[in-house]
Amino acid sequence: MKMKIPIVMVSDANYISQIKVAIWTMRESTSKEVLLEITVFCSSYLDTASRGRLTELEEKQVNLRIKFYEVDPEIFKYARTTAGMTVATFYRLLIPEVLKDEKKCLFLDGDIIVNTDLRNLYLQDIDDYYIAGVRDGDFLYNPDGIIAHFKEYGFHDFNAYVNAGVMVYNLVKIREDNLQSLFLKSMETFYSYMDQDILNKVCGGKIKLLNMRYNYFNRHKEKKEWEILHFAGADKPWNNLRTRGSREWWIWAEKALEKEIFDEMYSRVQKQAEENDWSYILERCRKERVIIIIGYSHIGLDVFTSLKRCGIAADMYFCDNSKTKQSLSDDRVMIYPVEEMAERHSEALWINTSQRSYTEINMQLKGLGIKEEQIIVYRQKNELYFDMLDDEYLEYELNQLMLKNLGRLN
């Protein structure tokens, strides 16, 4: 009988390309004799074209089956979410109920590339465990954070707290002990790591730890062999060309994606990398008479002082959508509403320093008549950015940082 590996993933229309790359890598890396049956959990709003982009993989690969499960949003009406996260991350809590006929399955995030035969993961012996996973990489580098987190939520063994991005589920044991109802009830309590916290809390004491190579974070600095590379942080290859592991992801993406989609994605991220170099920002600013910095924050202030230090003589103004921040205006600095600045200085250069809401702010600016070429989205290159930076770009980025901090290169 042909071996089958049931796999669950989660996607919306904005994540289809990433899911497609992940599926391509797992199919190419796993024995072609094994059937990979992938169930994509999604909302009813996932359009036909997006679904078709995934199911067309069945025609290009052997022993690959892709189907969709539309999740009922009513299940999550009382779920407590973290800022910037959606209820979709809770979908994986439904796996034991949805995959009723399966004894075991894998859950895989979409921001991964697979370089191992998935039988190595699926055939892990977890008869005495509910789930299996790899210790969470965030906590490995933040012991103070994990202690505080565990005290707040009542966890006990921080050595057995796993990341939910790559997991093996013992569906039989989870059903036998009726954990499904506990999963869903727990969503009504706020957990900062949401479903990951819930899985670790409810399954605590019966979680098998796997070798970190099965869920190797690209932020890990030590050079180790990996079998599944996980882009778990904010720096994904499709929004940061210089992050560690990006080269490998784009090699796979070129094979998996439609040419026009690949070209558009790569062109966009390449442009984004170039436009976030401080040398580029300086060159643009030297040509302007008026510069508007969006976001009155420590990041916005850092951009302002750095531009001054680098000799930018243009008139510079702050604006912010927050009325609270606008009220901080005094004799030294004025913080204006975005609409007012757009009306007064429609031809200015706008530097958007928001790290989370930059897309919405860009849309707001365009709605106010500001052209796309007048907007720079500033990406803060903090310690975490450098931690995840590919070695190939380290010297270059350090020179850019020196230019920003000193106003010159040595």
Q: With helix as H, strand as E and coil as C, how does 113-182 read?
A: EECCCCHHHHCCCCCCCCEEECECHHHHCCHHHHHHHHHHHCCCCHHHCECCCEEEEEHHHHHHCCHHHH
* Mean per-residue pLDDT, 369-386: 93
Query: Comparing 155-159, 300-304, 357-361, which segment has the lowest mean pLDDT?
Result: 155-159
Neighbour count for residue 237 (Cβ, 10 Å): 26
Burial 340-373 (b: 16+ CB within 10 A, else e): ebbeebeebbbbbbbeeebeebbebbeeeebeee
Angle between helical axes of 259-275 and 246-256 (0-180°, round to 10): 150
Q: What is the pLDDT of residue 88?
A: 87
Distance CA 306, CA 379 (A): 14
Confidence check: pLDDT of 407 > 90: no
Mean pLDDT in the chain? Answer: 92
* Mean per-residue pLDDT, 31-47: 96
**Token pair belonging to 67:** 């189907």
**Token pair belonging to 403:** 């230019």
Confidence check: pLDDT of 149 > 80: no
Q: Where are the alpha helices (DSSP H) in 154-277?
A: 171-176, 179-186, 194-202, 246-256, 259-275
pLDDT digits over 78-130, tens only?
888 876 677 888 899 999 999 999 999 999 999 999 999 999 999 999 999 99
pLDDT digits over 268-323, tens only?
999 999 999 999 999 999 999 999 999 999 999 999 999 999 999 999 999 999 99
* Mean per-residue pLDDT, 338-350: 95
Query: How sure is the predictor about 376, in pLDDT bands with cuts at 50, 70 and 90?
Result: very high
Q: What is the pLDDT of residue 374?
A: 96
**188 or 106, which is more confident?**
106
Q: What is the pLDDT of residue 177?
A: 95
Confidence check: pLDDT of 141 > 70: no
Distance CA 6, CA 184 (A): 22
Measured CA to CA in angstroms, residue 96 lies from 230, 275, 284 at distances of: 24, 46, 54
pLDDT digits over 219-255, tens only?
887 778 899 999 998 889 999 999 999 999 999 999 9
Query: How sure is the predictor about 409, in pLDDT bands with cuts at 50, 70 and 90?
Result: low
Three-class secondary structure of residue 266 per DSSP = helix
